[in-house]
Amino acid sequence: SAIMDTFHVETAPGVGTAVIMGKVLPPRTVDWDAPSLARVAAEIAERPPQTLSEELHRQNQELLRTLNQVRKQQGDWEQLYREMEETNRDMLAVHDALSDQNQALGHSEARSRLMVNEVTDYAIFLLSPEGNVATWNIGAERILGYTETQIVDGSGHIIFSAEDQENRIPEQELRTACDTGRVEEERWQVRRDGSRFWAHSVMTAIRDAETLIGYVKILRDVTGQKMARESLQSAYERERHITEVLQSPMLRKIPADTLPGLLVETFYESRMNEAEVGGDFFDAFTLDSGRILLAVGDASGKGLGAALRAMRVKELLRAAFIMVGEESPQQVVTRLNSYLCGVQYGHSDEGFVTLSLVILDPATREGVFLCAGCEPPLVLRVNGDAAILSAPGMPLSIAVEAVYEAHPFALHPGDTLALMTDGLTEVRHRGKFLNYEGMVELARTRAAAPTLDGMGKGIVEGARAFGNGRFSDDVCLLLARLS
């Protein structure tokens, strides 16, 4: 307390220990001229110099150990860079010297060496305006293989590959840092022994007023992270391929001659800019009685797991109607839900499944509908009206005691039945969802299309336009009309 104005330790469970030190310094003039230095020297001379030096050194060492612990725990260079800047402001450290644009390069070198020489995980070095190496820390020696005497005063271009040197990448990097103040990039760098490693680097220009006096470059070997990213990307691509193979039969167009008395068109599209496809599915088949079952659903999650759940539910739905019969669709869905809840028990990663189901008799034009957490079916009347077939129901595989009810409805000649997942209704524009009501209005404006296929494409493209050309989720739409 006799040396520092503020010095205390704060510890929080699960967070860690914070060491807080602070020193109130007298106001500094813009330039470190001789009178300014004399005043600082006189102020320091009034205190026991040996004690002050030892205490500052001890506190800097303790601060370095704390920063090393943070660095190892975070593993994130950007976070470390910010923490080092904030923690060491107005201390005798490298980032104090770098952020103070009113000091000459010689002063910056002296201050930088107090900290950077003991950092081993990062190469930290200063470059002259021409790109020659001015300082070289232990981390740079460890990562790049050059000792300080071997590289200081030499060109910093030596750590770039021959290809980059031929393409004048080092000069471009210096020019960008000079023009913008900072340049950050990842590229191959070369060690003294000729081996390569993938480096993440940040280079900052140092100025004295308007005069460029050099650059500081902080570099880290991230070859392991690059290999991990590439391995992960390869795994994503393999999983996506398997998922698409699984989805292909589930999303295949329904042949026109398989559903007597009914025209059906289906539309599916994966969301854009995503590595994984989803668990949306549709189905349509004729029951023993001649009635036709139509269904769309969505297994929560993305990728292989969601596709497997969707495929399982689609096959189980067909099997359940064979085993239980078609007279009680609510009983079929209830049994399906019980089975899925049993499968999921103890496996929280299984997720849930939404389902919208319709059974229609083309001869009588009458049918029943049932919903399990999915968007309700929509009937677009030939006169332009829209009827929402609302039937609240809990998604499948959430609660074994869930109750599902089937409700009657009727179609008239020329009416269109639409079943969809939430990829259409949840398309966004400036944070605003299209919502179900917006989708209904969109469908009404496209209902006059001459063909069912044209109507479906118009709905999908209209939703895409609302979302500025992209979907935030997979889109699945089924349209049916009496033939």
Tens digit of pLDDT for each residue in 286-344? 998 899 999 999 998 877 778 788 888 988 998 888 877 777 899 999 999 998 888 76
In the prediction, which pLDDT does 251 show? Answer: 65
Q: For the chain, what is the domain count?
A: 2
Question: Range with the lowest mean pLDDT among 54-58, 100-104, 351-355?
Answer: 100-104
Residue 1 within a domain: no
Does 292 lie in the same domain as 213? no
Does 205 lie in the same domain as 65? yes
Residue 407 within a domain: yes
Question: Range with the lowest mean pLDDT among 122-136, 266-280, 292-306?
Answer: 266-280
d(CA 311, CA 299): 9
Does 126 lie in the same domain as 31? yes
Residue 232 within a domain: no
**Which segments of 329-451 does DSSP mark as H helices, in order?**
329-344, 422-425, 435-446
* Mutual angle of helices 435-446 and 452-466, in 10-degree steps: 140
Does 360 lie in the same domain as 423? yes
d(CA 296, CA 421): 7
| Strand arrangement of the beta sheet that strand 378-380 belongs to | 262-269, 475-482, 416-420, 378-380, 386-388
Residues 402-433 have pLDDT tens digits of: 999 999 999 999 999 999 999 999 999 888 99
221, 238, 272 — which closes off a domain?
A: 221
Does 432 lie in the same domain as 343? yes
Does 142 lie in the same domain as 89? yes
Q: How much of the chain exceeds pLDDT 70, in percent?
A: 71
Does 288 lie in the same domain as 217? no
200, 221, 242 — which closes off a domain?
A: 221
In the prediction, which pLDDT does 430 show? Answer: 86
In the prediction, which pLDDT does 51 show? Answer: 46
Nearest to 396 by CA among 404, 407, 386: 404
d(CA 218, CA 140): 9
Taking 90 as the threshold, does the pLDDT of residue 370 lie above it?
yes
Residue 238 within a domain: no
CATH of the domain at 125: 3.30.450.20
pLDDT mean across residues, the chain? 80
Does 410 lie in the same domain as 269? yes
d(CA 274, CA 306): 15
Q: Calculate mean pLDDT across residues 13-36.
A: 61
In the prediction, which pLDDT does 71 show? Answer: 46
Does 123 lie in the same domain as 265? no
Taking 90 as the threshold, does the pLDDT of residue 145 lie above it?
yes
Residues 153-186 have pLDDT tens digits of: 999 999 999 999 999 999 999 999 999 999 999 9
Tally of CB atoms within 10 A around 50? 8
Does 210 lie in the same domain as 256? no
CB-neighbour burial class of residue 287 (10 A; exposed 0-12, middle 13-18, buried 19+): middle
Residue 240 within a domain: no
Q: Which H or E element spans position 476?
A: strand 475-482
Contact in structure between 116 and 88 (CB atoms under 8 Å): no
Taking 50 as the threshold, does the pLDDT of residue 214 lie above it?
yes
Instruction: Provide the residue range defining the domain that includes 174.
Output: 6-221
Residue 126 within a domain: yes
> Which band of pLDDT confidence, cut at 50, 70 and 90, is reported for residue 61?
low
Does 334 lie in the same domain as 216? no
Nearest to 285 by CA among 250, 309, 310: 250
Taking 60 as the threshold, does the pLDDT of residue 107 lie above it?
no
In the prediction, which pLDDT does 81 show? Answer: 44
In the prediction, which pLDDT does 452 show? Answer: 94
Does 460 lie in the same domain as 351? yes
Provide the sign of the torsion angle of the four alpha carbons 54, 56, 57, 63, taken in this order. Answer: positive
Residue 275 within a domain: yes
In the prediction, which pLDDT does 358 show? Answer: 97
In the prediction, which pLDDT does 308 show? Answer: 82
CATH of the domain at 457: 3.60.40.10
Residue 243 within a domain: no
